[in-house]
Amino acid sequence: MLFGIFGNNNGNRHVIIKAPMSGKVVDLSDLPDEVFAQKMVGDGIAIKPSEGIVAAPFNGIVKQVFPTGHALVLESMEGLAVLIHIGLDTVNLKGEGFRLLVEEGSTVSEGTVLMEFDQELIEKNSYPLESPIIMPEGQKIKSIEFTKEKEVKKGQDVLMKVELR
Beta bridge partners of 53: 116
Q: Which of 51, 74, 56 is nearest to 19 (CA)?
A: 56
Contact 122, 49 (CB under 8 A): no
Q: Is the dihedral of CA 94, 56, 163, 146 positive or negative?
A: negative
Give yes or no: 85 in active site.
yes
The catalytically annotated residue of 80, 85, 93, 122 is 85
- Rounded-to-integer distance, Cα 148 and Cα 88, Å: 23
Q: Which amino acids are annotated catalytic?
A: 85
